[in-house]
Structure 1
């Protein structure tokens, strides 16, 4: 088959059907009627001599041939979109673009106050939408353009994405100012750490699980009295109890003042956490996205970090 034999719009419909699996969703996302999408699918079936998608109770399931075509077609469309957007201009002062960011609750606490203040001054019409990084579909959402940028320590996105390291941070022990271990500047040793009562944060889908792995390797067992799935209420919990939390250093800086907390360094050799911004290749040359990444690097990067390509 020659490229001139096929309408590019049919490939756009094909790509969306692979991602969404339902004619109604594809029609809505592309601004078409459902009959128009069905007609495009019929034309593709005739051209390619394959059913491509089979109707099932859960949606349109791609055939083996459609699965074989899916990634090459997606890459070709992204490359074409990127080429067309190379010269697109972006003026933050007048733009009303909405960017979708994926981050943890720690990221929301650390990044959002600064970012929103910067937007108010530099890009008052630009808005942000946040989604959790723990979403199982994050990779697919970034590839499909539904998520613009991911921020954090995200090992599940290390392969196949552009990334720029922003900063490295150690883990510290965080506690209320009146805690028996809060006095002094010396790091807490292993004995003090073992004897303390701890709150453990399980932050799914992030690199913060490395703390538990490191403690296990060191043979250090914590007396865990509370386990929570996120960091949102940590300041209030620590401020009213004698519990200790092992947290990233920059989160400790954000929580210390409002909740009268104290951060103490540790003698335990815990791994540092590298916080990065990550994005998909199809947005690499997008002018608005380049501006957003520059804004993030300007306010949170410790140096002009190099960009690692996929």
Structure 2
């Protein structure tokens, strides 16, 4: 007994997806590196198999039918999974791959790091998609990586998770960022003044808990006054520039705003903090995958090219 699937091969799926995505046989042929007659012949086969026109004329243009439009994402999914099957057995072909990479990252890293990484990924793997997700309390990154919903996580922890693979990426010094007219720039900032000042802090990355700064302060038996919590880390320097709030974070992050001309200045932090270390995390399920290995290598290389804060 013949199985209907026997009449469909991966080439037909690729043609179908490209024709529907381009809404044009000629453009699909160019994208596929094929000829228009060959693509037209494949489209006729697909119409016979599905019993649907798939692509019809509308005025001077061609548009997918309702059924055709419903096949765009499923065919893309089939092609992505087929790509993974091929890549799993050998070298990852970045230049030809069409897979989607998903990264979860903290937004308080060096502001130049992620743009540099994304630019590298798009240069080396131009057909790959990249999703950058916020590393926030709303994201259960362990579950997301276990389910294959996130490929890698980039962030910092006082004690990084030991149930995941990890590699240190960047190291930074903890400093304070204040407004350019903050009194502490004239009088200095000692420990007592630091603890009594009004602080701004990012919203914790965990649904219940505190960030690495307050974790370390509590380890020392100290507590600061947090007047403002903000879920958008890149907005915080603007808040600092217009207030007496103190931000405690890495020098790399602060330095970019000073160099950009924002009315803020960097002060040494009077609390003895260990270096702030950013880590790359990944799950065991992706440890040997060739595409994931390639992605992790790009992340590590981007970190090695990141200039040292001064």
| Superposed pair shares fold, TM > 0.5 | yes
Aligned to 1:253: 255
Three-state SS of the structure 1 residue aligned to 2:206 is coil
Q: Rg: which structure is higher?
A: 2
Aligned to 2:202: 201
Three-state SS of the structure 1 residue aligned to 2:273 is coil
Aligned to 1:225: 227
The 1-side partners of 2:218 and 2:285 are apart by 40
Three-state SS of the structure 2 residue aligned to 1:105 is coil
Aligned to 1:72: none
The 2-side partners of 1:135 and 1:226 are apart by 20
In the comparison of the two structures, how many residue pairs are matched? 224
Report the CA distance shift for 1:288/1:208 in structure 2 as closer, same or farther (over 3 A). Answer: farther
Aligned to 1:284: 287
Answer yes or no: is the 8 Å Cα contact 1:165–1:301 preserved in 2. no
Aligned to 2:91: 89
- Structure 2 residue runs of 5 or longer lacking an equivalent are 1-70, 75-83
The 1-side partners of 2:143 and 2:130 are apart by 20
The two structures, once aligned, show a CA RMSD in angstroms of: 3.4
Report the CA distance shift for 1:203/1:230 in structure 2 as closer, same or farther (over 3 A). Answer: farther
Aligned to 1:138: 141
Asked whether 1:298 is paired with 2:298, we answer no
- Say which is worse superposed, 234-243 or 87-96, in terms of deviation: 87-96
Aligned to 2:123: 121
The 1-side partners of 2:145 and 2:112 are apart by 22
Answer yes or no: is the 8 Å Cα contact 1:85–1:285 preserved in 2. no
TM-score, normalised to structure 1, is 0.61
**1:186-223 deviations in Å (ceiling 9; x for gaps):** 8x421331343322333223997232133234454434
Asked whether 1:173 is paired with 2:176, we answer yes
Aligned to 1:275: 278
**1:27-47 deviations in Å (ceiling 9; x for gaps):** x9xx7xxxxxxxxxxxxxxxx
Answer yes or no: is the 8 Å Cα contact 1:166–1:302 preserved in 2. no
The 2-side partners of 1:108 and 1:147 are apart by 21
- Say which is worse superposed, 82-91 or 278-287, in terms of deviation: 82-91
Three-state SS of the structure 1 residue aligned to 2:294 is helix
Asked whether 1:191 is paired with 2:192, we answer yes
Mapping for residues 142-157 of structure 1, pairs under 5 Å: 142-154=145-157
Aligned to 2:245: 243
Aligned to 1:45: none
Alpha-carbon deviation of 1:277?
Answer: 0.6
Report the CA distance shift for 1:162/1:247 in structure 2 as closer, same or farther (over 3 A). Answer: same
Alpha-carbon deviation of 1:129?
Answer: 0.7
Report the CA distance shift for 1:137/1:225 in structure 2 as closer, same or farther (over 3 A). Answer: closer
- Say which is worse superposed, 247-256 or 85-94, in terms of deviation: 85-94
Report the CA distance shift for 1:245/1:161 in structure 2 as closer, same or farther (over 3 A). Answer: same
